[in-house]
Copies of this chain bind each other. A is one copy, B any other.
Amino acid sequence: MDLAGGLPGVRLHTGALHASTSDAALTSMTLLNEIAGRFPDAVSFAAGRPYEGFYDVAGLGRHLDTFERHLRDEVGLDPEAVRRTFFQYGRTKGFIHHLIARHLEIDEQLTVEAESVLVTTGCQEAMVLVLRALRTDARDVVFAAYPAYVGFLGATRLVDMPVRSVREGPDGIDVADLEGKIQQARAEGLRPRACYVVPDFANPSGATMPAADRRRLLDLAERENVLLLEDNPYSLFHPGGERLPTLKSLDTGQRVVYFGSFAKTAFAGARVGYVVADQSVVDGGLFADELAKLKSMLTLNTSSVAQAVIGGILLENGCSMERATVREAQVYRGNLRAVLTALEEQFGAGSPMAGSGVSWNTPRGGMFAVVTLPFRADDAMLEYSASRFGVLWTPMHHFYAGDGGFHQIRLSFSVLTPEQIRLGIDRLAALVADHT
């Protein structure tokens, strides 16, 4: 900490603070929010928030009651033990792990031991814990398909863990490219530890990995001796019909560390997520127990009230979050159709703007789609789009840590109505017309 000038009081120089505080990958999100904040009347495809139309404040008390009854009548705790569960320092690994294991069984056909589940302060804490555990010195490195979720990039910055980017195609991560990148890192004297993937309806790309690629990825992980960090916040917002298996459910060799979230299925404010870490530790227990040691220095335990509310929601829905989110899933499916229909009408074959060089992907579910534009779509263009045409979106280059995606934008459609979506795509078309 340096003192600047003769002014009274401490003044900290940013150079005297950890580098992540000035990392572009993270400060850019603040900038985007700032731009969005200046145009409250624009149609916003920028907000990655879940739909909030079905939230009910009065429900919170009910969820707490449900969980209290469960502790008393099903778990069989006496009143003192119930009180302690709600109010005291608690089990570091959390107290809704059995319910989470049941939810995974029901909603993902994924069988895990409750003891391998660590409940965390949102999935974000889980990512930090896993990266912190795997980062022993400067040689440890992780991999991620780019474009990548900024929360994961942020977590790597926080623990000073370098990330190597892997190509992503329409079908998700390019497994052959990952293999090359791992071997290259090893040749440089680095220690490849893990690869981060969102196999279902990724944020930001909306891409989904085919089943064959999932198996190839697991084989590669085995061959190259790395872990796979599977993040699965969106799988329940699928198109219906047969679903693809999670990596974790195909994982016979404990290669996969599985991140789960209640942010999109229950609610984001609770800050309850989890990680399944069933790897065994030589002379120890489970990887989940090692992560719990780290958690005991970071947040001690996940908020009891937050866990109890999520526990109540699980119990009220027979531990099926698919059942709990039937209405939201319908909204997201309808909105995805509205986005793809409007894009087709504005830019598709036979449309007035056919041949203008606009293309897009067709996600099968989730909350995001990606549009490629025939011009540079950076933060300056976003500001122009908002001020002149009243439509907000997210420049994709933010998900490439500034290294790509300059002609692409992410459309997030979770909080909009189909009417707003049509209006927004009309406005996007006007922006394109202005530039072609």
Interface size (A, Cβ < 8 Å)? Answer: 94
B297 A151 Cβ-Cβ under 8 A = yes
* Among B17, B50, B56, B270, contact of A304 (Cβ-Cβ < 8 Å): B270
Residue in B49, B283, B298 whose CB lies within 8 Å of A88: B49
Residues of chain B within 8 A of A263, CB atoms compared: 89
Within 8 A of B (CB), among A161-212: 193
Does A21 lie within 8 Å of B279, measured CB to CB?
no
A57–B82 CB distance below 8 A: yes
Q: How distant is the Cα of A57 from the Cα of B87 in the complex, in angstroms?
A: 8
Instruction: For A271, list chain B residues within 8 Å (CB).
Output: 121, 299-304
In contact, B133 and A279 (Cβ under 8 angstroms): no
- For chain A, residues 45 to 74, give those with C-beta under 8 angstroms from any C-beta of chain B: 49-50, 52, 55-57, 60-61, 64-65, 68
Pick the contact of A300 from B21, B124, B252, B309 — CB < 8 Å? B124
Instruction: Kindly identify, within residues 257 to 286 of chain A, every residue whose CB is under 8 Å from any CB belonging to chain B.
Output: 263, 267-272, 279-284
User: Is A327 an interface residue when CB atoms closer than 8 A count as contact?
Assistant: no
Interface CB pairs A-B, < 8 A, 5? A17-B136, A49-B88, A55-B87, A60-B305, A122-B300
Q: A121 contacts which chain B residues (CB < 8 A)?
A: 121, 271, 299, 303
**Does the CB pair B125–A293 fall under 8 Å?**
no
Given contacts A1-B225, A121-B121, A304-B270, A14 and B297 within 8 Å (CB-CB): no
Minimum Cβ distance to chain B for residue A80 (Å): 8
Q: Judge whether A282 and B18 touch: CB under 8 Å.
A: no
Chain A contact residues, CB within 8 Å of chain B? 1, 3-4, 8-21, 26-27, 29-30, 49-50, 52, 55-57, 60-61, 64-65, 68, 80, 82-90, 121-122, 124-125, 128, 132-136, 151, 154-155, 157-158, 193, 225-227, 252-255, 263, 267-272, 279-284, 287, 290, 293-294, 296-306, 309
B297 pairs with A133, CB closer than 8 A: no
Nearest-neighbour CB distance to chain B for A418, whole angstroms, equals 20
Indicate whether A303 sits within 8 Å of B300 (C-beta atoms), given known contacts A158-B294, A269-B88, A279-B10. no
Complex CA distance for A213 and B259, rounded to whole angstroms: 49
Q: Say yes or no: A297 contacts B155, CB within 8 Å.
A: yes
Query: How close is A269's CB to chain B, nearest CB, in angstroms?
Result: 3
Task: Identify the closest chain B residue to A154 (Cβ).
Answer: B297
| Cβ 8 A contact of A279, one of B9, B151, B282 | B9
Residues of the B chain whose Cβ atoms lie less than 8 Å from the Cβ of A279: 9-12
Report the minimum CB–CB distance from A312 to chain B (whole Å).
Answer: 11
Taken together as a complex, chains A and B put the C-alpha atoms of A154 and B8 apart, in Å, by 33
**Contact, CB under 8 Å: B280 / A9:** yes
Complex-state Cα separation, A132 to B298, whole angstroms: 11
Q: How far is the CA of A124 from the CA of B11 in the complex (A)?
A: 25
> Please, which residue of chain B has its CB at the minimum distance from the CB of A27?
B293
In the complex, chain B residues whose CB is within 8 Å of the CB of A254: 9-10
Report how far A212 CA is from B225 CA in the complex, Å.
59
In the complex the two chains form, what is the Cα distance from A359 to B382 in whole Å? 70
A305-B309 in contact (CB<8A) = yes
**Known pairs A3-B225, A10-B253, A122-B300. 18 more at Cβ < 8 A?**
A10-B254, A12-B280, A14-B281, A16-B134, A17-B133, A20-B132, A20-B294, A21-B133, A21-B290, A21-B293, A60-B86, A121-B121, A121-B303, A124-B298, A158-B298, A271-B302, A271-B304, A272-B303
Q: Does the CB pair B21–A282 fall under 8 Å?
A: no
Given contacts A9-B279, A61-B61, A132-B18, contact A293 B26 (CB under 8 A): yes
